[in-house]
């Protein structure tokens, strides 16, 4: 579709088109902006809310790589445009909301991942995220449980998980084993095998086939009480 055709669409029609092109369910996009699973479905089908909130619109625009004006931002305002590189000074005072998920990545026997609806958010400087090479649309925060990653990660620490598609390299990841989430140092053994390593030497390494685990994302930041 040509740019002038895209701008002629109403925000609801454009969002639905983008979701279909990307193959991303509206429920998943609703979770991305920290809303309940039916939020964007209601926005598109029922017109409630009447328009997207500024922060919701910005997150969705960054996720799809489009100008915010395509989702309803007034055209006279400066909007996100992937072809225009804004000076950092123009975004230094802006903050990005990263959703906190109410589940733990276990540094022990494993934690259930039944509920992944955000309940809160952390605010991060947009400039800092850019300096780290991180995109807010792919980030989420969860709590560490257990002691197998001590002293690197302790129970109660909050970790920032980057789910952006990148080539695999050894590092600390959140992975899904069956119905459980665990946080481990993951190393490739070759021939389709992975080693899940704990920092706490009391926990032995676990060797698995790559098809036995789902790598959710790489741990790129942590916070915790002293």
Range in 36-40, 110-114, 174-178, 187-191 with the lowest mean pLDDT: 110-114
35, pLDDT greater than 50: yes
* Residue with the larger pLDDT of the pair 116 and 69: 69
pLDDT score at 103 = 66
Q: Mark out the alpha helices in the chain (DSSP H runs).
A: 3-7, 11-22, 26-32, 39-46, 54-64, 126-131
Please name which of 193, 200, 186, 134 lies closest in space to residue 163, comparing C-alpha atoms. 134
User: Which is higher by pLDDT, 226 or 106?
Assistant: 226
Instruction: Report the pLDDT value the prediction gives residue 160, as an integer from 0 to 100.
Output: 94
* Average pLDDT score over residue span 144-153: 92
pLDDT score, position 9: 74
- The residue ranking higher by pLDDT, 6 or 171, is 171
The average confidence (pLDDT) of the chain is 81
Per-residue pLDDT, 179: 78
Q: How far apart, in whole angstroms, are the C-alpha atoms of residue 195 and residue 206?
A: 6
Return the percentage of the chain with pLDDT > 70, whole number. 81
pLDDT, one tens digit per residue, over 180-208 is 889 999 999 999 999 999 999 999 999 99
pLDDT digits (tens, 9 = 90+) for 44-92: 988 888 889 888 888 888 888 888 888 987 654 444 444 444 343 334 4
- What pLDDT, on a 0 to 100 scale, did the predictor assign at position 95? 84
pLDDT of residue 114 exceeding 50: no
What's the pTM value of the predicted model, to 2 decimals?
Answer: 0.57
Query: CA nearest 112: which of 164, 165, 177?
Result: 177
The structural domains of the chain, ordered by start, are: 3-72 (1.10.260.40), 95-223 (2.10.109.10)
- By C-alpha distance, which of 198, 200, 194, 143 is closest to 169? 194
pLDDT of residue 5: 42
């Amino acid at each position: 579709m040509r740019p002038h055709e895209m701008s002629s669409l109403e925000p609801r029609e454009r969002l639905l088109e983008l979701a279909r092109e990307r193959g991303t369910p509206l429920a998943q996009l609703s979770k991305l902006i920290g809303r309940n699973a039916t939020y964007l479905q209601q926005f598109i089908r029922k017109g409630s809310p009447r328009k997207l909130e500024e922060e919701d619109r910005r997150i969705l625009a960054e996720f799809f790589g489009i100008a915010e004006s395509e989702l309803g931002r007034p055209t006279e305002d400066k909007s996100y445009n992937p072809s225009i590189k804004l000076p950092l000074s123009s975004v230094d005072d802006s903050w990005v909301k990263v959703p906190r998920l109410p589940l733990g990545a276990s540094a022990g026997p494993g934690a259930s991942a039944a509920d992944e609806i955000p309940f809160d958010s952390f605010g991060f400087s947009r400039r800092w995220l850019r300096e780290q090479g991180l995109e807010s649309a792919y980030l989420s925060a969860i709590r560490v449980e257990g002691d197998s990653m001590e002293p690197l990660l302790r129970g109660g620490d909050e970790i920032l998980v980057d789910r952006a598609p990148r080539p695999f390299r050894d590092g600390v990841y959140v992975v899904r084993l069956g119905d459980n989430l665990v946080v481990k140092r993951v190393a490739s053994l070759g021939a389709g095998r992975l080693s899940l390593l704990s920092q706490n030497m009391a926990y032995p390494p676990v060797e698995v086939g790559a098809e036995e685990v789902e790598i959710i994302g790489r741990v790129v930041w942590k916070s915790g009480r002293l």
